[in-house]
C-alpha cells in the first residue's frame, strides 16, 4: 500500500514538473505573459478575520493579478490601513512592499520592519503579527505547498539530481 502511495506521489510530481504542451486545435490557450499596472487593478474589500484583529480597525483590500493553470500559484496586490492583527499563512507567500511599511513579528519572536522595496518570505502554516502604522501596499506571490508524499518525493529528487537555477 505504501508503495502504491509513493508511485502515485511520484506520478503526480512528474505530471506537475513537466511543462504542459498545448494540444493542436484547442481553443483555450494560456496567456504566456500577464501584465497590468498595479494602479489599474481593481481593488476589492478583503476583510481581515475579526478574531485576528488585535488593535485598530484595519481595512484590507485585494486585487487579483494572475493564477497558474494548475491553481498552485497566485499573484495579487494587497493593501491595508492602520491596525495590528495576526495573520495565518496557509500558502507559502513572498511579498514585495510597494508602499508604506509594516512591522512583522514572527512566531519565533523575531521582528522584521518591511518598507517599500523590501521582499520577505512567509512559510505556509505559520502565523505572524502585522502592525501597520498608517498604510501598506504589497504584491503577494503565493504558492500552494505540495502534499507531504509529493514533497518527500521532490526532496529525494533534489538530492539525487543537481538543482538547476532558473534563468531570470
pLDDT-based confidence at residue 137 (cuts at 50, 70, 90): very high
Lowest-confidence segment of 82-96, 126-140, 151-165 by average pLDDT: 151-165
> Hey, how many other C-beta atoms are within 10 angstroms of the C-beta on 43?
15
What is the fold of 42-159? Jelly Rolls (2.60.120)
Per-residue pLDDT tens for 23-34?
445 455 667 776
Indicate the pTM of the whole model.
0.72
Q: Which residues contact 158 (CB under 8 A, 6 or more apart)?
A: none
For residues 64-82, average pLDDT: 90
| 102 class by beta-carbon count within 10 Å (0-12 exposed, 13-18 middle, 19+ buried) | buried
Report residue 35 as a C-alpha cell.
Answer: 501584465
CA 37, chain centre distance (Å)? 19
pLDDT at 39 over 60: yes
Amino acid at each position: 500500500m505504501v508503495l502504491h502511495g509513493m508511485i502515485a506521489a511520484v506520478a503526480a510530481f512528474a505530471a506537475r514538473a513537466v511543462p504542459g504542451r498545448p494540444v493542436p486545435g484547442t481553443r483555450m490557450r494560456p496567456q504566456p505573459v500577464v501584465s497590468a499596472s498595479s494602479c489599474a487593478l481593481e481593488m476589492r474589500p478583503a476583510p481581515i478575520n475579526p478574531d485576528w484583529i488585535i488593535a485598530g480597525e484595519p481595512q484590507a483590500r485585494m486585487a487579483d493579478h494572475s493564477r497558474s493553470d494548475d491553481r498552485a500559484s497566485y499573484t495579487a496586490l494587497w493593501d491595508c490601513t492602520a491596525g495590528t492583527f495576526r495573520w495565518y499563512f496557509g500558502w507559502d507567500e513572498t511579498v514585495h512592499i510597494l508602499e508604506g511599511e509594516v512591522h512583522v513579528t514572527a512566531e519565533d519572536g523575531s521582528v522584521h520592519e518591511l518598507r517599500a522595496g523590501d521582499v520577505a518570505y512567509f512559510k505556509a502554516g505559520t502565523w505572524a503579527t502585522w502592525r501597520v502604522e498608517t498604510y501598506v501596499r504589497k504584491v503577494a506571490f503565493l504558492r500552494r505547498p505540495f502534499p507531504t508524499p509529493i514533497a518527500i518525493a521532490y526532496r529525494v529528487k533534489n538530492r539525487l539530481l543537481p538543482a538547476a537555477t532558473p534563468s531570470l
